[in-house]
Amino acid sequence: MNSIKKLPKLIFLTDSHGMYFLNSIKKNLLKPFVGDVCIAHGATISGLKNPNSFTAASKTYKDFLVNKPKNSYIFMHLGEVDCGILMWLKAKKNGSDIKSECTKTIDIYMNFISELKLEGFNNIIVTSATLPTISDDDHVGEIISLRRRQVDANFKERTELTLYFNKELEKYCMLKNIDFIDPTIDFINSNTKFTHVKYRNKKRGDHHMDKNMAAVIWAKYLRSYLFTRFDVNVQSIIKIAQQNTFVKKLNIIAKELPDEMFLEIDKGAIVEIEVLEEIGNALLLNRMLVNNIVLDSDFKFIHAPHFI
């Protein structure tokens, strides 16, 4: 274990789906860790091999890393555009097999990571690509970009390719001794095998997930990864609820949250909490028991004045 005094800076190199990580940081879900997010909108893995690509993502990322501590923990999150658009268009243009395009894409990813390591950044973690949320019903009309409309693959095929890509990416990471984080099981509806509708963006046709819902899931996996590698100070406290109150997954008004993101705590309940930090009037929790029942670790915040 590493000392809390040596907690590293977190850096996220992402496409537009980096909003989930940015939201995790803004909502204090990764405390006591701090981090920065570099978002290259429209970035693709395929474009990493070309510094003069349309998004110039590789140059954007490398410029962002200039003067950053070499011991930073760098999380890379790319692949949604590759799996949802580029691989399909390349396979169609080249008459190639979609799985071979997948392999080529992962090779480009690994080469870029090798370049970063040569620059001294050895703590690189790869995360799974975001699953598609745009269904066949939505995959029409002006709400979809021109490139997305050119893809013939249906929702099932795009989902299956993303799942295949993430599994193959994990294998490559294992071979290269690169840590890999994949919260797919939390995003997938076990019955439909598609992204659960609750994670869909409220704007029909927006291919990004709901940023609050996704932030909570990603934060859980990131915390699990980081907290097993670094000692983080926690303070154990036993409190009694002085009024009916809530424990929440995000530190915002409960009525603004979906039902599953807050839980009512009855007056008189005995709560045993592990506190990471006090943020305003809220306590950021590592772990919580209510009347000796352990709560889902995603419930991170309680309103401190409601307890003694």
pLDDT of 113 reads 97
Contact between residue 114 and residue 173 where contact means Cβ atoms under 8 Å apart: no
Residue 1 has pLDDT above 50, yes or no: no
- Across the range 218-232, mean pLDDT stands at 94
- What's the pLDDT score for residue 304? 92
pLDDT of residue 202: 82
Task: Please determine, for residue 58, whether its predicted confidence score (pLDDT) is greater than 80.
Answer: yes
pLDDT of residue 215: 96
Strands (E), the chain: 10-14, 35-39, 73-77, 124-127, 179-181, 235-240, 245-248, 262-265, 270-279, 282-290, 293-294, 301-303
Please return the burial class of 278, using the count of CB atoms within 10 Å of its CB with bins 0-12, 13-18 and 19+: exposed
Residue 285 and residue 293 in contact, taking contact as beta carbons nearer than 8 Å: no
H or E element in which residue 146 lies:
helix 146-149
- Type of residue found at 57: A
Residue 221 is predicted with a pLDDT of 97
Rg (CA), the chain: 21
CA 101 to chain centre: 25
Tokens, residue 141: 């009309």
Q: What does pLDDT average to over the chain?
A: 90
pLDDT digits (tens, 9 = 90+) for 5-45: 589 999 999 999 999 999 999 999 999 999 999 999 989 99
Instruction: Report d(CA 261, CA 194) in Å as an integer.
Output: 21
Residue 53 reports pLDDT greater than 80: no
Mean pLDDT (whole number) for 212-237: 94
Q: Quick one: angle between helices 87-94 and 155-175, nearest 10? A: 100
pLDDT above 90 covers a percentage of the chain that reads: 76
Q: Is the pLDDT of residue 4 over 50?
A: no
**22: Cα separation from own chain's centroid:** 9
Q: Supply 143's token pair.
A: 């709400």
Distance CA 199, CA 210 (A): 5
pLDDT for residue 118: 96
Q: What is the pLDDT of residue 164?
A: 97
Confidence bin at 180 (pLDDT 50/70/90): very high
CB 63 within 8 A of CB 56: no
pLDDT at residue 26 in the model: 95
Per-residue model confidence as pLDDT tens digits over 234-287:
999 999 999 999 999 999 988 889 999 999 999 999 999 999 999 999 999 999
pLDDT surpasses 90 at 227: yes
Residue 45's nearest CA partner among 89, 88, 80 is 80
Q: What pLDDT sits at residue 147?
A: 53
List phi, psi (to 5°) of 214. Answer: -70, -35
In whole angstroms, give the CA distance from residue 21 to residue 76: 11
pLDDT confidence of residue 138: 61
For 219-240, what is the mean pLDDT? 94
- Cα–Cα dist 219/291, whole Å: 26
Q: How much is the average pLDDT of 44-71?
A: 89
State mean pLDDT over 52-80. 91
Write down the pLDDT at residue 174: 97
Give yes or no for residue 3 having a pLDDT over 70.
Answer: no
Residue 110 has pLDDT above 80, yes or no: yes
Residues 123-146: pLDDT tens digits? 999 999 999 987 766 654 444 554
Tokens of 246: 């809530």
